[in-house]
Structure 1
């Protein structure tokens, strides 16, 4: 089989990197019978301090899905060591970098592709979307300017949607034949341990599961809770890595001033093996994100039969055609508040209909076999 080397900042068993790790895990899980995968990542959580458990530093480790993983220590996180480690592999047929704005791994991937004379794919993962580019734009604009001049015409870019493809071509001056139409592969649970579900009228249990940073828009969610009727009892559980301490302090100020009918809890990070079970306990996943090119966590909520309340800045806006949730513009909070109240007032019978609709929607949308075949076809064409 052909050998594919993937560069990603972190990888399992890390818990703090969010969607990018899920994207890579799903590629490996679904395509491991067609390709050999070699993952190169750091040996630490996102903070760069906490070392991952049960790994061997700076050597190839076997993953749960047949992949080989090189967990780099701080000392050996350099191109010379990576190149030396890759010589242990019989052949390198494709390089895949899971980020555009991670300069270090982009440099490694580009240099390796040159050294081994193989195709090079960059997956921006929504980093070039309008709202994403606005965050720290003073850093991103000069970076884009420089990279457009360094990367040559033989670089390919993964587009997971028509919108992302257009952004890649526009912002990076890339021709359409260098843009690969490869939609995200969804997280599909083998089975879900679901606790007995119950629902009381005028009560709602909501969750927010994501990294805590500006882009995920937790402040907006908390501000909406202030506007919900005082007659409704709300439990809002927050899960995720605190990536931006200053932003989390803004959230804490809002949490401290919540009205008496609202209880907000911070519950740390959900492990990957508990994500579906966790979602199954809630009436609603509230995620008014500023931008997602996919949003694995949205699909995971739906697979767990948890209705969603999200912004319209994701590819999941067709949820509005079902009973399984809503996607609204971030121009105002009233629609979000109204939907929270609607779910809160729903009976157990109504909620079961809504939950079933959520699950049915994502199953129909996933289309996993066609997506897998696209990856297999395009990867094989590049590696001829």
Structure 2
């Protein structure tokens, strides 16, 4: 592959082969697993109980492995799944993922997807070695960057207000885009929804105005935990949101570009008048925070930031973060409390050392 032709993350070898291009037997078995036996029932193939997004995630994982074989061991595609998925080939897959710059977290996800798909495509096969490989990778796991955030929620909120305030002196289009970006940061700070839900906020449906207040409402079908979610926006956010709806959103809706889709009542609008996509929102948030704070903060990390901020500044209220973040249990949230307590303990420890040294040199 010639250098410079593809961005590293867009190189063909890194892509997932779509189901339609899988080996025929793989495709037939997969489609059967995803097909209900009756449109009136929830029964059918092994994957019919999963949400479509979960089915797609596993399919993409298998598609990546198949694509890896296309580039590195093409004859393997002629073999049945039980003969194709071997210890040596999975190890080779992991080595190649490492060479392509994937983090250990990403590799663990790929192995999980591979194991899940292999069990569906060849239920009689023994793929336990994939879990053993994953255990070895997990033992060497080092996060791509620290999970804890150096940036706290109040700092991002301050940035968000500044971005929106600056737009009064800007050209209309640049001002509308920057105001939108500032409002995205502000709402993510106050209500760190999962990216899919946040991007899809829709006026009159998931974002409603009633009794003089704005509410975000998600149905069980829209949430990861399949639980109803409802939260009111702080009254301080109302004027900023309403300015966006009255001035900047209509301006963006009126824009056109090479690609255009009807914006409908979607809240977030792109620079060409279409609904903002999940990837575009991810890129905007990461780019802005990276430029200001020196580290990219993805939309998902706002969830960690919310828990970290509460744990650091008001640890007695950490359990309030669970319903805010839509966690089914407190277990996920409590790690931030432990993290904050550990940081506090370390600070006290250093303080004790300094006191001892001062007394010694008194």
Higher RCO (C-alpha under 8 Å, 6+ residues apart) = 1
Q: TM-score, normalised by structure 2?
A: 0.30
Answer 1 or 2: which has greater helix percent: 2
Structure of larger gyration radius: 2
